[in-house]
Each structure stands twice: as structure tokens, then as C-alpha cells.
């Protein structure tokens, strides 16, 4: 099971939440539907700036890395400490 970040923009509202699913489309879709059925998602009103005819659902895998971001291996340069 992997953790996915889901963002929904529809009807001038936005929701962002995480779901646990297997790495296939059907499992992700079922997890999203289950989460929507729980009715505990906070919907934010976006206002008139968003076109109400555009409907989007996006998702991405959430990776909980243990490696610090600012390391020589990641940045490719030596990271100085202190002043």
C-alpha cells in the first residue's frame, strides 16, 4: 500500500487529502470514492476565479523519505555549517 495525495478542483471548490491504495488505477479510484463517502473532507471555496466548467482530480504518491534534503549527495555541493 502506498500513500497518495489527492487534489480535487470542481464547481469552484478545492479539496486536498491523502489516501492509502495499491499502485494501480482501480485501487486509487476506490480509495478516493471511499474517502469522499466518509464526508470528513474539508472543501475550500475558490470563488469566481476558477471556471466552474473545469473539473480536475489529480493524485501523486507521497514519499516519506528519511534522508535530509540539504545534503552533498542531493545538492551536489558541499553544505557549509555555521557562519
Question: What local confidence, expressed as pLDDT, does residue 34 receive?
Answer: 94
**Cα dist from 8 to 1, 33, 42, 76, whole Å:** 21, 12, 11, 36
Question: What local confidence, expressed as pLDDT, does residue 73 receive?
Answer: 56
Burial class of residue 29, CB neighbours in 10 A (0-12, 13-18, 19+): middle
pLDDT tens-digit series, residues 3-55 = 999 998 888 788 999 999 998 999 999 999 999 999 889 998 876 655 666 67
The rounded distance, in Å, linking the Cα atoms of 30 and 28 is 5
The rounded distance, in Å, linking the Cα atoms of 73 and 83 is 22
Amino acid at each position: 500500500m502506498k500513500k497518495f495525495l489527492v487534489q480535487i478542483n470542481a464547481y469552484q471548490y478545492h479539496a486536498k487529502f491523502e489516501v492509502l491504495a495499491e499502485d494501480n488505477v482501480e485501487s486509487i479510484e476506490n480509495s478516493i470514492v471511499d474517502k469522499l463517502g466518509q464526508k470528513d473532507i474539508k472543501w475550500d471555496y475558490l470563488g469566481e476565479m476558477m471556471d466552474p466548467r473545469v473539473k480536475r482530480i489529480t493524485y501523486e504518491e507521497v514519499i516519506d523519505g528519511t534522508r535530509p534534503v540539504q545534503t552533498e549527495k542531493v545538492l551536489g555541493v558541499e553544505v557549509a555549517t555555521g557562519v
